[in-house]
Amino acid sequence: MTQFARLPVRRLLAAGAALGALAAAAPATAEIQLQYSFQDRDVARMVSLGGSCNRCELSGRDLSGAAFTGAMFTNATLVGANLRGAEMIGSNFSGSDFTRAELIGADMMGANFTGATFARADLSGVMATGATLVRVRFERANLTGAELNGANLNGAVLADARLSGAEMNATTLANADARGADFSAAEISMSNLSNGDFRNASFRGAELNGARLTGGRFSGADFREAELNRADLRGADLSGARGLTQEQVGRACGDAGTRLPGGLTARACRGVRIAPPAPPAPPTPPRVRNLVMASGN
């Protein structure tokens, strides 16, 4: 049976200096949930953070394995924080700063990171299916092997980011700035890349089947061994793209505004319809936990 105890923040200091520091970082009106778990073999200490904490200062904190249960940490500062394996399902981190943070294997399904910054952060292997990543800054971030199916990255900045082997099916990348990004061997089928800047990006060996590249800029992009079956190239500038073959382009479609390397032609898209992607599955509810709840009141 789950047991709750409501204690003042000061009395929780005896639980350890690290937990005390986290409690002190929150405003008095915020509710912070702190938890120890000794049953998880992979994570000896787990911290659960919930409630609301606007502009929390958590830079450099060790929050590995932490569970942000439906939390609202808008405009928080987590520069250089360790969030390896953290659970952030359904939480709101819009406007937060994760510069140089470590989020390897974190679960970000259905979470809201609108306007957040992940510059030079390590997000390799993160699970962010259905996450809202609108206008997020991922400059030079490591998203190798990330699961971003159904995520919304409209207007995101992915310049020089690493996304090799990432799963990005039915993902929105419209209006993205992904200059120099590495999408090699990534799954980007049925995704929307319209009006994006992908100059000098690598799509080598990537799957772009049924993707929309309409109006995008791809000068210097590498398409060697990429799959473009039923891809929509209308209005896309691929004139300076590398590695494109007639076989690849022949499986896609375009229009009079499509610009291709010399000698390549694409069939017209008239009558070609791209089926809309299925909505992502809802995130799995957080596990039931034994919590010690602290309040600044």
Q: What is the pTM of this model?
A: 0.79
Residue 69 pLDDT grade (very low, low, confident, very high; cuts 50, 70, 90): confident
Residue 45 scores a pLDDT above 60:
no
Residue 116 scores a pLDDT above 90:
yes
Rounded mean pLDDT, 67-81: 94
pLDDT at 292: 28
Q: In angstroms, rounded to a whole number, what is the distance separating the alpha carbons of residues 239 and 136?
A: 29
Element (H, E) at 45: none
Residue 48 pLDDT grade (very low, low, confident, very high; cuts 50, 70, 90): confident
Express each pLDDT in 225-261 by its tens digit. Answer: 999 999 999 999 999 999 999 999 999 999 999 999 9
Rounded mean pLDDT, 62-89: 95
Express each pLDDT in 168-215 by its tens digit. Answer: 999 999 999 999 999 999 999 999 999 999 999 999 999 999 999 999
pLDDT at 269: 93
Q: In angstroms, rounded to a whole number, what is the distance separating the alpha carbons of residues 145 and 134?
A: 20
Instruction: Enter the tokens of residue 137.
Output: 């800054």
Residue 267 pLDDT grade (very low, low, confident, very high; cuts 50, 70, 90): very high
pLDDT at 22: 44
Residue 287 pLDDT grade (very low, low, confident, very high; cuts 50, 70, 90): very low
What pairing do the DSSP bridges indicate for beta strands 31-34 and 292-295?
antiparallel
pLDDT at 32: 42
The dihedral sign for the CA sequence 106, 109, 113, 118:
positive
Name, of 1-10, 40-49, 117-126, the range with top average pLDDT: 117-126
pLDDT at 288: 37
Q: In angstroms, rounded to a whole number, what is the distance separating the alpha carbons of residues 218 and 195?
A: 10
Tell the burial category of 62 from Cβ atoms under 10 Å away from its Cβ (0-12, 13-18, 19+). Answer: middle
Residue 26 scores a pLDDT above 70:
no
DSSP 194-206: TT-B-TT-B-TT-
E strand map for the chain: 6-8, 31-34, 48-49, 67-68, 253-254, 267-268, 292-295
Rounded mean pLDDT, 103-108: 98
pLDDT at 70: 85
How many Å from the N-terminal Cα to the C-terminal Cα in the chain? Answer: 26
Higher pLDDT, residue 150 or 15 = 150
Instruction: Enter the tokens of residue 46.
Output: 């787990």
Q: In angstroms, rounded to a whole number, what is the distance separating the alpha carbons of residues 50 and 31?
A: 7
DSSP 220-233: T-B-TT-B-TT-B-
The dihedral sign for the CA sequence 147, 223, 233, 253:
negative
As a whole number of Å, the CA-based R_g of the chain is 22
